[in-house]
Structure 1
Amino acid sequence: MDTAKISQCPEVTVKCFLLSMFQSAIAQQGTLAQIPLNPIGGSLFKNRQDACSTKSEFDCGVGILPAHNKLIEKGAIFPLNRSKDSARVLYVSAIALKLAKTWQQTPQTIAAELAETLEPLCYPDFAVKVAPGGMIEMELTDAGLAVWLQRLAQTNLPVSGSKILDSVVCADRLFPIQYSHARCCSLLRMAHRDRIIAIAQPDVTTAPEIWSLASPNPIPWIDEGDRLRLVHPAERRLISQLLTVLDNLYPTFEVKNREKPVNYFKLANSLSEAFQIFYSQCRIWGEVKIEQPKLAQARLGLIFATQSLLRFILENLFNALAPLEL
């Protein structure tokens, strides 16, 4: 598997992908004791699926280092966090500080070694940088973000064997989230009718859970200068919220006993609010449709992604209806 292409990776979230890459990088540095390394490329795992599929070896959602790692205490939480800057998709890790005592090197030196190993694993999807103090920064590039958005817009999220319901939420409190979902569906049908996009099955009575986009496919996220078209603050805020929900959502299928329970209603509500702000500030029809049709399509791609995630939350976490129209 080409480790430079996140389009081929099995991970559901950006954070999960990065955790698997860190795991491979640490393995290549020889930090995992008593475990034979794969002679091909020196990686502990044959591919990303191996890195993320076995809970006993590495918990993708939370970032728990493997129990057999002799150099880090059992059950240690892998330090990897998103930056609060919604204009960037930036993850920061202090793993070099955690390893400094064991490796008997400065955090800056360890961070430089890990970054050198991580860079070819993550290129061209992430830009890897060592910040002062030994912090490792990994920023999702525009190309990588486009791939992730495309996957979210057109791929079903995995569902666990047993439904995981959040705490009971009053139906009235769910209405704004249901309204946002229905609004997404309405906008997508309108765009299909106006031939901005083409949906395979737009009819409400036959529409699948994830609407299949016939054209354009893929969505034109990237412009001619290889930059993401979506640069408006409201667009970036919605993208940031989509990734935040995903990073908090996927562990529900991997970890039954989390130290910090996730408030899924709050997350869903924040996503709904971000969508409403996006829709009120970022036009799709009118001049945008005529003069910048690819920008209109990219914004509709964001609506596809939002609809997909809101539907999943409503149906699988709240056992509630995700209405296609209101």
Structure 2
Amino acid sequence: MDTANISQCPEVTVKCFLLSKFQSAIAQQGKLKEIPLNRSKDSARVVYVSAIALKLAKTWQQTPQTIAAKLAETLEPLCCPDFAVKVAGAGIIELELTDAGLAFWLQRLAQTNLPVSESRILSPVVSADRLFPIQYSHARCCSLLRMAHRDRIIAIAQPDVATAPQIWSLASPNPIPWIDEGDRLRLVHPAERRLISQLLTVLDNLYPTFDVKNREQPVNYFKLANSLSEAFQIFYSQCRIWGEVKIDHPKLAQARLGLILATQSLLRFILEEFLNAIAPLEL
């Protein structure tokens, strides 16, 4: 994985990336104001579904199946190797994040600051007792990362709480070993997959924040952060890092810490930038 190019990727979210590829695919026919694109509810996989062929059928005067096949053929090289593209029944286009694609976006989320829009809209004030579970999850993420640094599972460039930057940079491993020797994602436990799915769901739901032109509905930042906090707590209770995992499967331990780093980064971003709350490094 070429980490040097991750920070240069212009699209902030997975959804934003795919929408740009769809626009490129239909460029010869003119741009569409709105492209239908949604995540499937399968938390074990990350699949995006588009009924754009149905929307274009009347204008292009072709069957949805024909349009979908043409678009899929154009999209495939644009999305490779991050997505597997196929046409399902009724002209529906499905794009599934590959293990390489998941590794790319997880690495990007774990080690790249998200941009802050000048026109961002803050959430209504949320009471301290409702915010506490989210703040606790953030502090727990920080605590686990510092413990892993002390135990030399990972090396954080600036681990000191007093001088820690907004997002901790890993001196090693870099990149995080998301992928195993068989080019498969190491993270296959249901709780890991649920947390990955929630990370990408939260990121995609922030899409209107990064693209003001598409901001049609207000974003419920508290709900997003709370859902991510709950997914993290389930992951933390079911997926070990120390003990035999650290000894026998150190790269799995590092990949799980990568998930914690990505969670910490996203929770901090929402707490500080949208909920106008402190993201504590320790409690």
- TM-score, normalised on structure 1? 0.83
Which of structures 1 and 2 has the larger relative contact order (alpha carbons within 8 angstroms, sep 6+)?
Answer: 2
Q: Answer yes or no: is the 8 Å Cα contact 1:110–1:134 preserved in 2.
A: yes
CA distances 1:167-188 after superposition (whole Å, capped 9, x unpaired): 2111111000000000000000
Question: What value does the CA root-mean-square deviation take over the aligned residues?
Answer: 1.6
Q: Distance in 2 between matches of 1:161 and 1:82?
A: 28
Q: Distance in 2 between matches of 1:228 and 1:138?
A: 18
Q: Distance in 2 between matches of 1:158 and 1:8?
A: 13
122 and 6 in structure 1: CA distance in 2 versus 1, 3 angstrom threshold: farther
Q: Distance in 2 between matches of 1:256 and 1:97?
A: 24
CA distances 1:15-73 after superposition (whole Å, capped 9, x unpaired): 0000000000001xx211xxxxxxxxxxxxxxxxxxxxxxxx7xxxxxxx34xxxxxxx
In percent, how many aligned pairs have the same letter? 88
Aligned to 1:187: 144
Q: Distance in 2 between matches of 1:253 and 1:13?
A: 9
CA distances 1:257-309 after superposition (whole Å, capped 9, x unpaired): 84432221111100000000000000000000000000000000000000000
Q: Answer yes or no: is the 8 Å Cα contact 2:12–2:210 preserved in 1.
A: no
Q: Distance in 1 between matches of 2:48 and 2:6?
A: 16
- TM-score, normalised on structure 2? 0.95
The structure 1 residue matched to 2:159, chosen from 187, 202, 209, is: 202
Q: Distance in 2 between matches of 1:277 and 1:180?
A: 11
Q: Distance in 1 between matches of 2:21 and 2:244?
A: 43
Q: Distance in 1 between matches of 2:269 and 2:183?
A: 31
Q: How many residue pairs align between the two structures?
A: 280
Aligned to 1:118: 75
> Could you say which structure has the higher helix fraction?
2
Aligned to 1:242: 199
Q: Distance in 2 between matches of 1:109 and 1:257?
A: 29
286 and 214 in structure 1: CA distance in 2 versus 1, 3 angstrom threshold: same
Structure 1 residue 322 corresponds to structure 2 residue 244:
no
Aligned to 1:153: 110
Q: Which runs of 5+ in 2 are unaligned?
A: none
- Amino acid of the structure 2 residue aligned with 1:90: V
SS in 1 for 2:19: helix
Q: Answer yes or no: is the 8 Å Cα contact 1:198–1:215 preserved in 2.
A: yes
Structure with bigger gyration radius: 1
Q: Answer yes or no: is the 8 Å Cα contact 1:124–1:141 preserved in 2.
A: yes
| Structure-to-structure mapping, 1:158-173, within 5 angstroms | 158-173=115-130
C-alpha displacement at 1:7, in angstroms?
7.0
Aligned to 2:57: 100
Q: Distance in 1 between matches of 2:35 and 2:129?
A: 39
- Amino acid of the structure 1 residue aligned with 2:68: A
Q: Distance in 2 between matches of 1:115 and 1:91?
A: 13
277 and 172 in structure 1: CA distance in 2 versus 1, 3 angstrom threshold: same
SS in 2 for 1:146: helix
Q: Which runs of 5+ in 1 are unaligned?
A: 33-56, 58-64, 67-76
Identify which range, 116-125 or 163-172, moves more after superposition: 163-172
Q: Distance in 1 between matches of 2:171 and 2:262?
A: 15
Q: Distance in 1 between matches of 2:269 and 2:224?
A: 13
Aligned to 1:72: none
219 and 318 in structure 1: CA distance in 2 versus 1, 3 angstrom threshold: same
Q: Distance in 1 between matches of 2:119 and 2:29?
A: 36
Structure 1 residue 79 corresponds to structure 2 residue 36:
yes
Aligned to 1:264: 221
Structure 1 residue 217 corresponds to structure 2 residue 215:
no
